[in-house]
Structure 1
Amino acid sequence: MYLGFIVLLWFALCGGIAAQPLRLVADSWPPFTDQRLLNNGFATDLVSTALRRAGYTVEYAQVPWARATRGLQTADYDIVIAAWYSPERARYGQFSNPYLINRVRFIQRRGGVLSFNELADLHGYRIAAVRGYEYSPEFDRDTLLQKVEVPGFVVGARMVHARRLDLAVEDEYVARYHLARELLDIRDELVFLPLPLSENPLHILVRRSHPQHAEIIAAFNRAVDQMNADGTYAALFKRHGL
């Protein structure tokens, strides 16, 4: 009798955990994550679709990046929608397989003569970097690079255009999104350097303190594979203009 009660209680608790919506979180990073965009952006749309296919319900919150990662550690949120791998994040979260590759590139004024084969070639030049962002291990730890913190890429790009800085750095999709909108007036006066800084796989990050974190990751990975196979991924990509 007692054993039967324990078994029923266990199933009730597990069922309650599964029925609770997964709390997705991201900062504003258009075109990937932003409340102003269709279905909160491409990454949010893709991740939500995959998790719903796997049988989960989801809800979305948008907060600054530092608050998002801190909230994962304090169990205020369950999943960071878009994260690059770092050993620090891996301590408190489990990464999925990558669902996109971010190609990070430098931008300079048209007619500029800067190019590089290695980061040492850029020593002595002023580079706009978004406050709190990580771009690549080599870039982040190179203390000889003159990295100037800016609140966002748009500000950095305008500083490059005004010749206050030499370069700005950003994911290519993100840069092209802003160049077609807030920076449309100066778009033709800015150009990408040919060589990318890095190519970073993009993942979801599930808090390790969630009792089903491994199952969520496995289910998400399977769902994304199915979406690639049946054309859903390509359709989402097209829907968001990427």
Structure 2
Amino acid sequence: MRPLFCVLGLLAVMLATPAPGHDKLRLVADNWPPFTDASLPGGGLATSIVTTALARAGYTSAFEEAPWARALLGVSEGRYDVLINAWYNDSRARIGHFSTAYLSNRVRLLQRKGEAVRYKRQSDLYPYSIAVVRDYAYSSEFDGDTRLHKVPVSNFSSAVRMLAAGRVNLAVEDEYVARYSLQREPQAVREGVVLVEPPLAENTLHILVSLKHPEHERIVEGFERAVAAMKADGSYARLLHQHGF
């Protein structure tokens, strides 16, 4: 009887083990309110859209917040399955499978109030120092221009405080993120900077599914179908409204 018990035991283990692709997806994003922030309802707008769409596609998920560089490395190594808030660039496409866009962002420059930065084209920015968040992608043109004087920082709060203190000439961030984040800064910082026209770039927001996940293509396909259905039935618009967009 012992061989039979062994076979039955092995079968029980197999039945108790989730099939590949049906494990809980490990979602990650950096703190980027109002789009991704564990302290906000639903984890922020982007997190709400992504988790809702994945649930409709049949996936359970768990969201973890991590610094951007760690989140990106985790996706490349397969420790995380889905990066929620990715702008496209070629280097990221080598570690993950991009979805089509589910949101769009206007990237804006900020300057100190009272200073006149003359900006019509990117070459106009060469005389200025610009605080940028380390490992962020802003636009292919901006990211690849080695003539720009970029000063890497850990987050937007560091960038805008350096700007207000006169340590850099400019900072750069998504418009909604900048407006939201400035409300959490000290009054001297909040009232000491202004947004610059025109926008630096307009980017689309995507999920990036780790190539280490065996079903990365299927996850992206399911997510895209679910987002399209959410737009059609009005639930996508309701999420925007709930988050103040």
| Length-normalised TM-score, structure 2 | 0.88
Q: Distance in 2 between matches of 1:114 and 1:241?
A: 31
> Which of 26, 50, 73 is the matching residue for 1:70?
73
Q: Which of 204, 210, 219 is matched with 2:207 structurally?
A: 204
State the match for 1:234 in structure 2.
237
Secondary structure in 1 matching 2:199: coil
- Indicate if the aligned counterparts of 2:160 and 2:189 stay in contact, CA closer than 8 A: no
> Hey, what does 2:8 align to over in structure 1?
none
**2:156 matched to which residue of 1?**
153
Question: CA RMSD, aligned part only?
Answer: 2.2
Question: In 2 relative to 1, CA 73–229 (structure 1 residues): closer, same or farther, beyond 3 Å?
Answer: same
Given candidates 35, 49, 52, the residue that maps to 1:49 is: 52
Q: Deviations over 1:107-126 (max 9, x none)?
A: 11222211312111111112
1:126 is matched by which residue type in structure 2?
S
- 1:125-164 equivalences under 5 Å are 125-164=128-167
Find the aligned partners of 1:49 and 1:148 in 2 and give their Cα distance. 37
Deviations 1:53-108 (A, max 9, x none): 11111111111222212212222111111111111211221110100111111011
Whether the aligned pair in 1 keeps the contact of 2:78 and 2:211 (CA below 8 Å) is: no
Structure 1 residues 230, 124: CA separation in 2 closer, same or farther (over 3 Å shift)? same
Change (3 A) 1:213 1:14: farther
Query: TM-score, normalising length from structure 1?
Result: 0.89
Q: Does 1:22 align with 2:25?
A: yes
Shift of 1:13: 10
2:4 is equivalent to residue 33 of structure 1: no
Q: CA deviation at 1:162?
A: 2.5
Q: Secondary structure of the residue that 2:132 maps to in structure 1?
A: strand
User: Residues of 2 paired with 1:115 and 1:226: CA distance?
Assistant: 44
Q: Hey, what's the Cα distance between the residues in 2 that align with 1:23 and 1:129? A: 28
What residue identity is the alignment partner of 2:32? Answer: W
Structure 1 window deviating more from structure 2 (121-130 vs 145-154): it is 145-154
Map 1:175-194 onto structure 2 (within 5 A): 175-194=178-197
Distance (whole Å) between structure 2 residues aligned to residue 186 and residue 92 of structure 1: 37
Structure 1 residue aligned with 2:177, among 160, 174, 177?
Answer: 174
Q: How many residues align?
A: 234
> What one-letter code is carried by the residue in structure 2 that aligns with 1:207?
S
| CA distance in 2 between partners of 1:26 and 1:111 (Å) | 35
Opposite residue 132 of structure 1, the aligned amino acid is D
- AA aligned opposite 1:154: S
- The more displaced of 178-187 and 218-227 is 178-187
Cα distance in 2, alignment partners of residues 13 and 71 from structure 1: 28
User: Shift of the alpha carbon at 1:22?
Assistant: 0.8
8 Å CA contact 1:130–1:149 kept in 2: the answer is: yes
Distance 1:93 1:205 in 2: 5
